[in-house]
Amino acid sequence: QVQLVESGGGLVQAGDSLRLFCAASGRTFSNYAMAWFRQAPGKEREFVSTISRTGGITSYADSVKGRFTISRDNAKNTAYLQMNSLKPEDTAVYYCAARFWSVSQKRDDYNSWGQGTQVTVSS
């Protein structure tokens, strides 16, 4: 498995931006599709975005489409989530996940997870 460490979360106001980072180690990063999920209090962990091994394929949850952008730098073993126009409903713990080879939007398809980073958006 690949080891993942998220960072970049924080407390912001509605309309602000944040950039999340996911640093990977332990395996060949470019062999893994990457994804971001989030979990709000009392809710299930939900898909946010995913990116293919080369970055050529991306997909987003409808709730973040047009506001969030996923990217990766295979030379730096890092994935990113740029979050713009944040809303209070984006408040959650954000998790980075890795899956060998192919992308997926299904939580159960990912077997490597980070510890999460808290994002709180005040109104």
* Residue whose C-alpha is closest to residue 119's, from 38, 49, 48: 38
CB atoms < 10 A from the CB of 115, how many? 10
Taking only the tens of pLDDT, the chain with its 123 residues reads 899 999 999 999 999 999 999 999 998 999 999 999 999 999 999 999 999 999 999 999 999 999 999 999 999 999 999 999 999 999 999 999 999 999 999 999 999 999 999 999 999
What is the chain's Cα-based Rg? 13
